[in-house]
Structure 1
Amino acid sequence: MSTKENIMLKHLMAALLVFIAQKGLAAEPIVIGLSYPKSGVHKWEGLSQMRGALMATEEINAEGGLLGRPLELQSRDSAGRAEKAIGNVDALADRGAVMIVGGATSAEAIAAGRKAKERGLPYFTPLAYANEVTSRYGHEYLFREGPSARMANNVLMEYLDSQMPNKRFFIITSDDAIPNARVDSLVAASRSGDVADPKHYRAALKAAAESNAQVLVLMLYGENVTDAMRIVDTLRLKERMTIVVPNLSHEVVVQAGPSLMEGVIGSDSWTWRTPQREHNERGQAFVDAFVKQYGEYPSSAVAATYGSVRQWADAVSRASTTNAPAVIRALEGHSYRLLKDDQVWRALDHQNVQSMSVVRVRKRAEVMRDALKQDYFEELYWMEGEVAAPTEEEVRLERTATR
């Protein structure tokens, strides 16, 4: 081989190595983080979050990735606790995560969201219910896909006021009991937290049994609902009271069983039948894919986590970068249609404004007739997101009042 040919070969090899390096760099994964309750009283909701995040990640990668790069999902157990969630944010950020999703309690979401802001990462919570998450403690890096307690209570108040006027309510929240209440008391009750002391609500249930209330409202979450419903059954309260669980989830019915939950009324932002009602082909494809993969119907927790990842990825695509400030700008005020009807990320507080439904758990015999034995909810009432969500003025007033 001549000297000239040798030089040309070296140049060719060098160019090839540069090409290979560039391709390798382009294929470097984009890391996203999932901080979720793999253990603790919210572990069932955590399992749903993991499945929703995995489905979104796998779909995006099957579509060719994001900005020409695959997504890599890294996860850590928060157990629903704020201190663990804070550590998770740091650990995931150190692994290179450019966004984080997950969390099942408001304290967890608030703490993790604050830490995510320090690390410059958008944080999406699918399940935190306290109004303060997007009002008092809201900031530019924190997004809530799921509904607030006020959204759930607004749709329930309208339904209960029309269907059960002048009824006496006994309301049990995470930290209080409100006897002799009326339907408008749900506004005040919505300000409660979402972590309860079992001793408190067990004592409150005994007081409810001794009252003359006609409607029992359990503003509880996760396994606390299951525990409370066992006591309701023991005290035979369903024989003389309508039971309402404002934030009623698929996971709660799975844990407690349809016999225990039969007839319970609550609200939800999405069920596996929602795409049918909305004639949403993409939503129906999501349901079909989930059933095929897991042999179960997806819940609103699955849909909210899936939607959070897909919406973040969509914002990255529109912004052509994973840079957090640019992604946040792309999300603020963005309206879209994914698994249901129209939704919007409100710019003021990053609350996902979406429609809400009042649902009731079907009779066990009806549930058992379904192929998967998980067709739990019948829809009783529907409300537009703009009506269900607190107004921007209400959010500003709450922020001003707590400064």
Structure 2
Amino acid sequence: MGRVIVFCCLLLACLGNTLQAQPIKIGLNYPRTGNYKAEGLELRRGALLAVEAINRTGGVLGQPLELLSKNTASRAEKARNNVELFAKQGARMVFGGATSEEAIAAGQRARELGLLYFATLSYANEVTGEAGQRYLFRESNSAWMSARVLGEYLSIHLPRQHYHYILIDDAWGRSMESALRLATSSTDRARHGRSVLPRGLVGREQYRAALDKAAASDADVLVLVLLGENLQRSMRMVHSMGLKQRMQIIVPNLTKSVVQQAGPLVMQGVIGTEAWTWDLPKQDNNPTGLQYVERYIDAYREYPGSTSASAYSIVMQWADAVRRSNSLDSEQLIRALEDHSYRLLKDQQQWRAFDHQNVQSIYAVRVRPRDEVMSDPYKQHYFEIIHRMAGDQAAPSLDDWQQERDEELTLQ
């Protein structure tokens, strides 16, 4: 009888350990195909490194993390449907996306299902502004934040210039154009012209028409409010047309993958913004950031970009909130995240309570000359930081945010 009791106890212990070891699932919405597939690869790499780091130190609440991932092809409807599929698989949080439309649609579905959604690469002000809601957090900077650091830099170094804008007709394109026009005093469209391209992949003849219009203007500054393959293709045409010799090219949101795909010769001298660069931890003497850079290089034999850093930070911050609240409940996690300040891969950041925007320093950067890039061991030392702005200075104020929200003055 004693042996039976001992056996039963051992069996129960084994079952308990098995149950305890069941993974906690999180879902990554990322573009494996389409205009932003290079950015999607970076998102997945950063997420995998975070999951690996967390599991190496015991997981979360004694359970390992498991990363689920699904292709959005940068389409809002697909991103929304993926959230439902993640929920059916037992995911406790969803993150990712490469467009603002994805973030808004997927975030709304996550809210309906009681899941938190963390947005990446979604720069439109609407994401945490007019469309903001309690279950949606944004790690990436907003259009306002990019526009303000660029506006300050350009007002000092390129004052009273004539601008021309080329943008995609989507939430981010319109948001970024509006914010940058205000920041650079180029709101007069009669003087500072524009061309609007359809969303999705754009045809060569459409790029050419827009760039011919810019070339025919007397603009000193050409602003390309484009991302992904649209930006790569347009920049190759800018280079072949010799427009960089006549105009300063501005790309409001630069990424490592864009420069990597288009090539440093094509991109050299372009000015834009980044929320993080691989050498920032060294400049700021940040040991956690340095460790992340080393792990990324060991795993992929190249430097990490801000896109992978964003995905990594989201997973690490969500896991930290779970530990601090000792819960997977979304409402408790919201309370743990709101107004929480932390240092991870850069200087201090904060999940701001009133809009769930991640408030962080933002950097104006210039793409280095090709010769400098090619002299680097990995040939990816692309960005020189030329101006910095603190997050609380760059992000819109509570008054700005409430004016955008109109009658809905708190997150619902």
What residue identity is the alignment partner of 1:277? Q
Rounded to whole Å, the distance in 1 between the matches of 2:186 and 2:399 is 21
Aligned residues: 393
TM-score by length of 2: 0.92
Report the Cα offset of residue 80 of structure 1.
0.8
Tell me which residue corresponds to 1:246.
Answer: 252
Summarize the Cα distance change of 1:344–1:90 in structure 2 as closer, same or farther, 3 Å threshold.
same
Contact 1:275/1:339, CA 8 A, preserved across alignment: yes
**1:33-60 deviation digits (Å, cap 9, x = unpaired):** 1110011110000000000100000000
Quick check: 1:356–1:388 contact (8 Å CA) kept in 2?
Answer: yes
Question: Is structure 2 residue 392 aligned with structure 1 residue 386?
Answer: yes
Q: Residue 370 of structure 1 corresponds to which residue in structure 2?
A: 376
Q: State the distance in 2 between where 1:361 and 1:327 align.
A: 39
Displacement, 1:202? 3.8
Is the 2:26–2:66 contact (alpha carbons within 8 Å) kept by the matching residues of 1? yes
Distance 2:159 2:72 in 1: 42
1:129-168 matches, within 5 Å, as: 129-168=123-162
1:96/1:325 CA distance change after superposition, 3 Å? same
Q: Identity of aligned pairs, percent?
A: 49
Counterpart of 2:321, as a letter, is A
Per the alignment, residue 346 of structure 1 pairs with 352
1:214 aligns with 2:214: no
The worse-fitting range, judged by mean Cα deviation, of 232-241 and 304-313 is 232-241
Deviations 1:51-90 (A, max 9, x none): 0100000000000111000011111111111111111101
Q: Is the 8 A contact 1:271 1:299 kept in 2?
A: yes
**Which of 10, 18, 24 lines up with 2:12 in the alignment?**
18
Q: 1:164 to 1:378 in 2, by over 3 A?
A: same
Q: Give 1:19 deviation, angstroms.
A: 1.1
Question: Could you list the per-position Cα deviations for residues 194-227 of structure 1 after superposition, in whole angstroms to 9, with x for gaps in the alignment?
Answer: 9456255542221100000001011111111111
Shift of 1:234: 2.5
Q: In terms of mean alpha carbon deviation, does 258-267 or 228-237 score higher?
A: 228-237
1:249-278 CA distances to partner (integer Å, 9 max, x unpaired)?
111101100010010000000000110121
The residue that corresponds to 2:402 in the other structure is: 396
CA distance in 1, matches of 2:236, 2:336: 46
What are the Cα deviations for residues 301-356 of structure 1, in whole angstroms up to 9, with x where unaligned?
00000000000000000000111111111001000000000000000111000001
Q: Which residue of 2 aligns with 1:184?
A: 185
Contact 2:166–2:224 (8 Å) recurs in 1: yes
Task: Give TM-score, length-normalised by structure 1.
Answer: 0.94
In structure 2, what is the Cα distance between the partners aligned to 1:317 and 1:306? 17
- For 1:187 and 1:124, locate their aligned partners in 2 and report how far apart those are by CA, in whole Å: 36
> Where does residue 68 of structure 1 map in the other structure?
62
1:194–1:221: 8 Å Cα contact kept in structure 2?
Answer: no
Matched residue of 1:272: which SS?
A: coil
1:82-97 superposed matches below 5 A: 82-97=76-91
2:288 aligned to which of 282, 286, 289: 282
Distance 2:374 2:309 in 1: 24
1:198 match: secondary structure: coil
Q: Give the equivalent residue in structure 2 for 1:4.
A: none
In 2, the alpha carbon distance for the partners of 1:347 and 1:402 equals: 15
Unaligned segments of structure 1, at least 5 residues: 1-6
* C-alpha distance in 1 between matches for 2:74 and 2:168: 15
Displacement of 1:392:
1.5
Shift in CA distance, 401/172, structure 1 to aligned 2, threshold 3 Å: farther
Trace 1:264-303 onto structure 2 (pairs within 5 A): 264-303=270-309
Which amino acid in 2 is paired with 1:19?
A: A
- AA at the equivalent of 2:140: G
Runs (5+) with no aligned partner, structure 2:
none
Structure 1 residue 193: Cα displacement: 11
Which has more radius of gyration? 1
